[in-house]
Chains A and B, each alone.
Chain A
Amino acid sequence: MKTLKIFLKLCEMNLKTLFVYRASFFVSLISNLMFVISYILFIESLFLHVNKIGALNKGEVLLVMAFFYLFQNISDIFYRDNFENFSNEMRRGLLDTLITKPVSSRLLTFFHKMRFDYIAALFITGLQFWYAWRFIEKPFAPQLFMTGMILSLVAASIMFSIFSIIATLTFWIEKNDTLHNIAWHLMQIARYPRDIYTGIARMIFTYIIPLGLIANIPAEFALKLSSGKSILIFLALAMAFFYISLWFWNFGLRRYTSAG
């Protein structure tokens, strides 16, 4: 309960910042639009030459991509900037002010700065869902779609756990300015249909680093393609990653010595 109250207070503080820098909202809108258009052009160019990627047609691939952007938007709003700046904050001793407070150190460290200007990107993602569904022959089922949206929150929590593990490595590496680089590139694994990963890659991206699932499971649920078993595995992996990443964070924190 205390953690939730602190989280909501952090949201309130950061929301006030949004109204100070209003232009950031529109700049984020345009920036996100450029990325989405680039990837749509990429998919459209591919489908000039192929009919399916894995077992999915163009609309279904675009839907996976839309769900990918949805959980990416959630991560951008709530915690991505904090991960990118983590190495810098640690070296400059700013981490000390966050971990010495009587609240969850991980919560404060990775949620103290939120970017509500990225809410603009949610509008673009909404357009992307509309564009994807134009190419899907199945009727739109609102309940399944909304459940897919909720599963995107679970996806965002898995992504948070993976980012947390990568960030915790900074306690040993010390200078990790390429942290955001590797995190961003890893996220790209989630963008495509999981059928493209076969053999050992499939096992790694499903069970060890479940990036192959995080956009695909919500999309498959919205399309009535997923089984209850895969959703249970998805939820179990989310919980497992959360607790593993929390344990690793506490383990890394014991090694941390302040920069003064």
Chain B
Amino acid sequence: MTKYFTILKIGIQENFEYRSEIFIYMLAWSVRFLISILLFLALFREQSVIGNYNAQNIVTYFLIIQILTALNFAKTGIQISDDIQSGDFSNFMIKPISYTLYYLVLEFSKNIVRFLIALGIFGIILTFYDPNFFQIELLFRLPLILISCIFAYCIASLMNMAIGITAFWIINAKRIIFMYFAIMSIFSGMMIPISLFPDWLQKIAFLTPFPYLLHVPAEMILGQENIPKMLTNIAIQILFVILFYGAIQTLYHFGVKKYEAVGR
């Protein structure tokens, strides 16, 4: 376990080596947040309610989504695909370390810093914009919310990794990962709350793991779910984590046998 804590520490330190990258990253995500808010506020100029949301709810929702995205947006698949394509994967094969755990921890070390910065910036905005949001009930829900957020991160990273590992067969998995981002952007609730989908699309969305990345933790934070519902959703998240971890182990086992690194 010590080696993984070391990876975590190095990953966090790497974040601060090029500090301007963090600033640019936050700026980029703020642009996306701004566009979502401007779009919905334009809609609320014509009507006061859209679905279950008024103008204040929707801004709160997107502020929370922004904070959660900083934690859950994973690019491990792209890194794994690059490793396999370039042959750098060979370096990991000879190290006494689990390849998948290495990237899980490394990605977490990068995302946790961004999450804390996003929490600071957007949390402050939320405090001024919607002071009533911070009710005492939030404190009671906080342990379950944190557990859900951690499982959401695991699902996102493991899904990404599973796709990245297909590079053992297809060499470059980036195009498939971009397809994943396309589906994730709509079905995770990042662009629009899932409750605004038509009923048939909501049913399809909840058959996939994507709502459990952002929408479900956001609903927990907003107090839209009671404790039994929160526990059910966390159980579903655990199932998805087990499913994707099993898929990764299977793909990795067969992929390593197929792997060739020319010139290494």
A196 x B186 contact (CB < 8 A): no
Which of B34, B35, B39, B183 meets A53, CB within 8 Å? B39
- The number of chain B residues with a CB under 8 A from chain A is 35
Chain B minimum-CB-distance residue to A184: B28
B186 x A175 contact (CB < 8 A): no
- Dominant secondary structure of chain A at its interface with chain B: helix
A38 x B185 contact (CB < 8 A): yes
Which of B28, B29, B196 meets A46, CB within 8 Å? B196
Give chain B residues whose Cβ lies under 8 Å from the Cβ of A51: 46
B28 x A178 contact (CB < 8 A): yes
- The number of chain A residues with a CB under 8 A from chain B is 43
A24 to B32 Cα, complex, angstroms: 29
Give chain B residues whose Cβ lies under 8 Å from the Cβ of A143: none
Q: Which of B188-239 contact A (CB under 8 A)?
A: 191-192, 196-198, 201
A197 to B36 Cα, complex, angstroms: 11
What is the total of A-B residue contacts with beta carbons within 8 Å?
104
Does A185 reach chain B (CB closer than 8 Å)?
yes
- B16-24, B143-151, B152-160, B241-249 - the one binding chain A: B16-24
Chain B minimum-CB-distance residue to A50: B43
With contact pairs A182-B27, A185-B32 given, residues A49 and B185 touching in the complex (Cβ less than 8 Å): no
Does A95 reach chain B (CB closer than 8 Å)?
no
With contact pairs A181-B28, A185-B32 given, residues A38 and B42 touching in the complex (Cβ less than 8 Å): no
Does B25 reach chain A (CB closer than 8 Å)?
yes
With contact pairs A48-B196, A48-B198 given, residues A176 and B39 touching in the complex (Cβ less than 8 Å): no
Does B5 reach chain A (CB closer than 8 Å)?
no
Which of B18, B31, B32, B42 meets A175, CB within 8 Å? B18
Binding site for B on A (CB under 8 A): 24, 27-28, 30-31, 34-35, 37-39, 41-42, 44-46, 48-54, 173-179, 181-182, 184-186, 188-189, 191-192, 195-198, 201
* A-B pairs with lowest CB-CB distance, top 6: A196-B42, A34-B182, A182-B28, A38-B186, A35-B182, A175-B18
